[in-house]
Amino acid sequence: MRPIRHDSSIVEFQRKRGGDCAAFFVPFLTSGMILLDAGCGPGTITAALAGLVAKAVGVDIEPNAIAAADRLAAAESLTNLSFVEADMTALPFEDEAFDAVFFHAVLYHQSQAVLTRALAEARRVLKPGGLIATRDADVGGNVLHPDIDGVRLALDLWQRWYEHDDPDALRFGRRQSSILRAHGFTPVWTGASYVNHSADATSRSEAVADARRSLLGFGPQLLRKGLATDDEIQTALAGWDAWGRDPDAVYFRCRCECVARKD
């Protein structure tokens, strides 16, 4: 599995995500359900979902993420919400303990072996008829404008990094339905929506900061593996800076969504 860093800036970035990330799942939820948010990060989405179900539990392997989630639950005085530091491939719950399991921006990070174990665990802890919902990236669906050489190079570097591990990693989103079916679930709904990184100057500068953080994060590993040069990384960073200075620049990131049932 690729290392996932959890410094405070990443937790802060994820904290901005809210219930809109799970909007597609809301029509399937009812007030009596017990829900698991697997790979919950700082718990923002879990907290939004807790308002719709009887009980919500978030698990994450990263202690910093769980600490942030616990602070959120305490600040919002939510009594039907709890967080547990745990590995989604070895969940500390009884069989058939949950009505719903949610994965947001978690599964596309994973190796095939971890994906298979995580989905097997989701199946185990779901009640018969329970629902799994997944929402993940698909780079092929992104809308990015204007076409700047450095930004195109940045995306190419990103692709070199991901395809180095798994040629299908960047098209994970569109494959969710077939992946869930292959792991024993019956898909009942699929869809997609966009994350808007260009609503205004603030969201554009956040997008640039995120792109810089990501490039600087995996850049040294690309260099070590001989997959990029330092000049390329500098050009890519400059490309994102140029994109951020264009008041008409847009960046809409595609997120594919799937709901499936354990029969």
Ligand X SMILES: C[S@@+](CC[C@H](N)C(=O)[O-])C[C@H]1O[C@@H](n2cnc3c(N)ncnc32)[C@H](O)[C@@H]1O
Pick the closer one to ligand X by CB: 104 or 204: 104
Kindly state whether residue 84 participates in binding ligand X, applying the rule CB under 6 A: no
CB of 65 to ligand X, least distance (A): 4
Kindly state whether residue 40 participates in binding ligand X, applying the rule CB under 6 A: yes
Q: What is the 3-state secondary structure of the chain?
A: CCCCCCCHHHHHHHHCCCHHHHHHHHHHCCCCCEEEEECCCCCHHHHHHHCCCCEEEEEECCHHHHHHHHHHHHHCCCCCEEEEECCCCCCCCCCCCEEEEEEECCHHHCCHHHHHHHHHHHHHHEEEEEEEEEEEECHHHCEEECCCHHHHHHHHHHHHHHHHHCCCHHHCHHHHHHHHHHCCCEEEEEEEEEEECCCCHHHHHHHHHHHHHHHHHHHHHHHHCCCCCHHHHHHHHHHHHHHHHCCCCEEEEEEEEEEEECC
Which listed residue (25, 33, 39, 69) binds ligand X by CB under 6 A? 39
Kindly state whether residue 210 participates in binding ligand X, applying the rule CB under 6 A: no
Residues 116-145 that bind ligand X (CB under 6 A): none
Kindly state whether residue 197 participates in binding ligand X, applying the rule CB under 6 A: no
Selected range binding ligand X among 54-62, 148-156, 173-181, 194-202, rule: CB under 6 A: 54-62
Selected range binding ligand X among 55-63, 143-151, 199-207, 226-234, rule: CB under 6 A: 55-63
CB of 111 to ligand X, least distance (A): 10
Residues in contact with ligand X by the rule CB under 6 A: 4, 14, 17, 39-41, 44-45, 59-62, 65, 87-89, 104-106
